[in-house]
Chain A
Amino acid sequence: SAVISQKPSRDICQRGTSLTIQCQVDSQVTMMFWYRQQPGQSLTLIATANQGSEATYESGFVIDKFPISRPNLTFSTLTVSNMSPEDSSIYLCSVAGISYNEQFFGPGTRLTVL
């Protein structure tokens, strides 16, 4: 398994601003994922971040709104840009285990946009 930390754990932001969420893993991993969990909802995959290449975004998510960096095999950031109240969610990063289809999740970042 992998130990994953996220910063910040929570934040309250003003409309129109941007927030960058950091995800740190205690081991080198190829694939990292960013998810959104809207209030009372399940998890939705935003994008897959592979080191050395551009992130791959899921339908409904675009790079301008959710730019992602993956500078090395243990770290990634997700930025939520030009925020609106609809962006209020928990954002989680995860990494794939030995088999791609098993994932380990960070504790999440709870974002509230006023």
Chain B
Amino acid sequence: AQSVTQLDSHVSVSEGTPVLLRCNYSSSYSPSLFWYVQHPNKGLQLLLKYTSAATLVKGINGFEAEFKKSETSFHLTKPSAHMSDAAEYFCVVSGAMNRDDKIIFGKGTRLHILP
């Protein structure tokens, strides 16, 4: 069984300061992990993905995430927030390439950027 927990429903940071969005997962075997972003009234966009290669994953728009197996975490970070980063972010876990392994979405974290 798999699950994913996004620890914060809302995060507020000032423009130009670092961003940290936390995600913990649970999986019976080596998972694939993803971060998606959803801007208001827009579709979901893949930010980055981890699929058992390098544990530090770089994505689009300056975001990156580190897979830490010992902590079962996959936190999303960005060194310097921009106003355009304000959006909803979803952490997603998926199991092996098997259609019986459902893709599980976290509840989402809304990122607010303060001027």
Residues of chain A at the chain B interface (Cβ within 8 Å)? 31, 41-45, 48, 58, 92, 94, 99-108, 110
Complex Cα gap A94–B90 (Å):
15
| Pair B43/A107 contact, Cβ less than 8 Å | yes
Which of A92, A103, A104, A107 contacts B103 (CB under 8 A)?
Answer: A103
| Pair B107/A101 contact, Cβ less than 8 Å | no
B50 to chain A, nearest CB (A): 11
| Pair B32/A101 contact, Cβ less than 8 Å | yes
| Pair B98/A104 contact, Cβ less than 8 Å | no
Chain B interface helix/strand/loop/mixed: loop
* Number of B interface residues in the complex (CB < 8 A): 25
User: Please, could you name 11 A-B residue pairs with CB atoms under 8 Å apart, sorted by A?
Assistant: A31-B99, A41-B107, A42-B105, A48-B99, A92-B43, A92-B44, A99-B51, A100-B99, A101-B51, A101-B96, A105-B45
| Pair B32/A102 contact, Cβ less than 8 Å | yes
Complex Cα gap A105–B90 (Å):
13
Complex Cα gap A44–B92 (Å):
12
| Pair A101/B101 contact, Cβ less than 8 Å | yes
Complex Cα gap A100–B41 (Å):
26
Residues in A whose Cβ lies below 8 Å from that of B96: 101
**Proximity bits, B34-45, A CB within 8 Å = 1, else 0:** 101000011111
Closest chain A residue to B107, Cβ basis:
A42
Q: What are the 3 tightest A-B residue pairs by CB atom distance, in nearest-first order?
A: A101-B94, A107-B43, A105-B44
| Pair B43/A108 contact, Cβ less than 8 Å | yes
A60 to chain B, nearest CB (A): 13
Complex Cα gap A39–B13 (Å):
24
Determine whether B106 belongs to the interface, using a CB cutoff of 8 Å to chain A.
Answer: yes
| Pair A106/B99 contact, Cβ less than 8 Å | no
Complex Cα gap A110–B43 (Å):
11
